[in-house]
């Protein structure tokens, strides 16, 4: 069956295997020699197509069929790519759960997803047994040890054949369930259809002008899956993908230089670490055509440092969105550093750019209640702060087994389509650009006004000794909150006099109406952040810490 007759995210792979069969599809750092030089192993597009076909046909021999949910707990490696594309080809539904989100959350996610099959490395199977994760019908081990029963991936491969025809999945058919560690609440499983995946590929290709034959540095495993679909070689760096802030910058630079990487995705935390090293050692990365960073706003100081390592023609792009909808907007470093960053430091918010062409974006009145039906009367005027709501082909329509969460986050249109409430607050300026003001759940309602995290933090972040800040609210017993700014300093400023710093920061606050009422600062050694990007601040945890300090 030809790819144009149905929608399946894996349909891009046979196209690449035919058009560029010997081009490297995925490259993995396998080992290092005694002097530290890295040895790589790889799959060409043709080999990736063949391997995923063999696994797809083999998995069907062990009761993995269309519509079957499969928990996939495999580290980034060649097998991760082959397995994921095999599951897409079958029409099975991989369940992706961020590693490191905590034992309690992992178990909750698996309980909600109710997978039929568990595919994992031995360590994942041991954790499944010891921590009593929910039982499944079929166990498959990527590795040799399997005292827990089931079959090995080698056995699956032995039962397969390279002749496999893609399952004719529909655009609205569930392709995957993604549990990601968000910035608020227990992780929810966003339901991705094949149509959502396909739309994302088309939009990313268009807005960033990605061409087949490019080389991608895949520092986040799930984003790496887009590389073969876009015709890019995916280079897996030698790093712990769950700890981007602690990455060894020399190994990121090594991978870029070894393969002439043209496209790089990196969380703000990773860009911070690499740019500090690069600036100190005068590193240049001329092969890069674009850098993409998401997960949280990139502070202008980090962006400026990383841009100093790039050619003038290369920008850092910061797409705005969420697991439920990506991309929504995009903006480049030229516009940020040349225009919007100055307004961010004055408390106007973070400009995330204009909506992409496929997105219909509205700003609605702030409410914490569900909204069942859409009405244009919900919208606010240009320049007025409200909640960001989006509709488009890359917008997911529900959470898996979370009816209450779906009801809170989704609005039904008159035509039956679904709009997603981002849970973010912002406004539109006269140029049609979106300015992000922070999470709705993080706004602080005081006795006199409502404070938003990003505008307040932007004022304090302008101080050169500040790495980042976080606005939290401490209940004062009257139903309102006392605003507190938590401060994490730059490493070279940790030993600075706190009394002097406090006075300097409060002087900055007094210069602006919206921060003038903030008079409490607390210095924190290292903010609690999300596991995925090491950038989203867990303000709920900081609020508990701050309350104990006061």
- Binned at pLDDT 50, 70 and 90, residue 185 comes out as low
pLDDT at 241 over 90: no
- Does position 22 have pLDDT exceeding 70, yes or no? yes
What CA–CA distance (Å, rounded) separates 220 from 270? 11
CATH code of the domain made up of 3-193: 3.40.50.12780
With CA atoms as reference, report the closest residue to 215 among 246, 261, 168.
261
> Is residue 255 scored above 50 in pLDDT?
yes
Q: Is the bond into 327 cis (omega within 30 degrees of 0)? A: yes
Helix axes 268-280, 249-259, angle to 10 degrees: 80
Per-residue pLDDT, averaged over 361-379, amounts to: 98
Q: pLDDT: is 256 or 180 the higher one?
A: 256
Q: What is the mean pLDDT of the chain?
A: 94
DSSP readout, 263-290? EEE--HHHHHHHHHHHHHTT---TT-SE
pLDDT of residue 3: 42
* pLDDT of 220 strictly over 50: yes
Give 206's pLDDT tier (boundaries 50, 70, 90).
very high
Cβ partners under 8 Å of residue 477, min gap 6: none
Query: Which CATH number fits the domain 352-441, given the four candidates 2.30.38.10, 3.40.50.720, 3.40.50.261, 3.40.50.2300?
Result: 2.30.38.10
Is 0.85 topped by the overall pTM? yes
What is the pLDDT, as a whole number, of residue 1? 43
443-549 under CATH 3.30.300.30, yes or no: yes
pLDDT for 7 beyond 70:
yes
Predicted confidence band of residue 243 (pLDDT cuts 50, 70, 90) = confident
Residue 485 contacts residue 462 (beta carbons within 8 Å) = no
Per residue in 447-478, pLDDT (tens digit) is 999 999 999 999 999 999 999 999 999 999 88
Beta bridge partners, 474, equal 482
Three-state SS for 188-246 is CEEEEEHHHHHHHHHHHHHHCCCCCCCEEEECCHHHHCHHHHCCCEEECCCCCCCCHHH
What is the pLDDT at residue 184?
58
Q: Is residue 127 exposed (0-12), middle (13-18) or buried (19+ Cβ within 10 Å)?
A: middle
Are the C-beta atoms of residues 85 and 112 closer than 8 Å to each other?
no
464, 420 Cβ separation under 8 angstroms = no
- 443-549 shares the fold of 3-193: no
Cβ atoms within 10 A of the Cβ of 188, count? 23
Q: Please give the average per-residue pLDDT across 174-186, as a whole number.
A: 78
The residue extents of the domains of the chain are 3-193, 352-441, 443-549
Q: Note the pLDDT tens digit of each residue in 229-239.
A: 999 999 999 99
pLDDT by residue (tens digit) across 421-443? 999 999 999 999 999 999 999 99
Mean pLDDT of 72-76: 92
Instruction: Tell me the per-residue pLDDT of 410-421, one tens digit each, with 9 for 90 and over.
Output: 999 998 899 999
- Predicted confidence at residue 182, as pLDDT, reads 58
């Amino acid at each position: 069956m030809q790819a144009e007759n149905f929608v399946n995210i894996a349909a891009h792979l046979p196209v690449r295997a035919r058009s560029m069969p010997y081009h490297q599809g995925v490259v993995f750092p396998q080992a290092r020699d005694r002097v530290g030089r890295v040895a790589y192993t790889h799959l060409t597009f043709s080999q990736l197509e063949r391997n995923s076909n063999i696994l797809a046909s083999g998995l069907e021999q062990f009761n993995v069929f269309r519509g079957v949910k499969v928990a996939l707990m495999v580290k980034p490696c060649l097998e991760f790519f082959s397995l994921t594309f095999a599951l897409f080809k079958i029409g099975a539904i991989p369940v992706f759960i961020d590693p490191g989100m905590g034992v309690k959350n992992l178990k909750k996610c698996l309980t909600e997803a109710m997978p039929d099959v568990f595919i994992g490395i031995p360590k994942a199977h041991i954790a499944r047994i010891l921590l009593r994760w929910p039982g499944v019908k079929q166990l498959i081990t990527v590795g040799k040890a399997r005292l827990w029963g089931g079959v090995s991936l080698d056995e699956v491969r032995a039962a397969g054949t390279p002749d496999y025809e893609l399952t004719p999945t529909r655009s609205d058919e569930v392709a995957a369930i993604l549990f990601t560690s968000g910035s608020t609440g227990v992780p929810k499983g966003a339901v991705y259809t094949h149509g959502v995946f396909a739309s994302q590929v088309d939009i990313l290709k268009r807005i960033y002008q990605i061409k087949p034959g490019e080389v991608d540095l895949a520092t986040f495993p799930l984003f790496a899956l887009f590389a073969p679909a876009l015709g890019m070689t995916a280079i897996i760096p030698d790093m712990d993908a769950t700890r981007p802030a602690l990455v060894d910058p020399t190994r990121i630079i090594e991978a870029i230089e070894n393969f002439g990487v043209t496209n790089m995705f990196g969380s703000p935390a990773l860009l911070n670490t690499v740019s500090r090293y690069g600036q100190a050692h005068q590193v240049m990365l001329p092969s890069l055509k674009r850098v993409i960073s998401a997960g949280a706003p990139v502070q202008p100081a980090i962006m400026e440092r990383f841009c100093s390592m790039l050619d003038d023609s290369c920008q850092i792009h910061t797409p705005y969105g969420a697991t439920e909808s990506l991309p929504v907007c995009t903006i480049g470093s030229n516009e940020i550093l040349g225009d919007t960053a100055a307004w961010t430091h004055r408390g106007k918010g973070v400009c995330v750019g204009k909506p992409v062409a496929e997105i219909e974006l509205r700003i609605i009145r702030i409410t914490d209640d569900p909204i069942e039906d859409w009405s244009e009367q919900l919208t606010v005027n240009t320049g007025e702060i409200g909640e960001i709501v989006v509709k488009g082909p890359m917008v997911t329509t529900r959470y898996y087994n979370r009816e209450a969460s779906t009801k809170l986050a989704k609005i039904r249109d008159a035509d039956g389509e679904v709009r997603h409430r981002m849970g973010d607050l912002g406004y539109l300026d006269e140029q049609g650009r979106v300015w992000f003001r922070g999470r709705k759940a993080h706004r602080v309602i005081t006795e006199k006004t409502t404070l938003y995290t990003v505008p307040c933090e932007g004022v304090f972040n302008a101080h050169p000794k500040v790495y980042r800040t976080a606005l939290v609210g401490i209940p004062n017993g009257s139903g309102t909150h006392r605003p507190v700014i938590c401060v994490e300093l730059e490493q070279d400023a940790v030993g600075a006099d706190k009394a002097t710093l406090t006075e300097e920061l409060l002087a900055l606050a007094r210069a602006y109406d919206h921060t003038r009422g903030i008079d409490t600062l607390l210095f924190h050694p290292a903010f609690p952040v999300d596991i995925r990007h090491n950038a989203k601040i867990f303000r709920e945890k900081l609020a508990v810490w701050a309350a104990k300090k006061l």
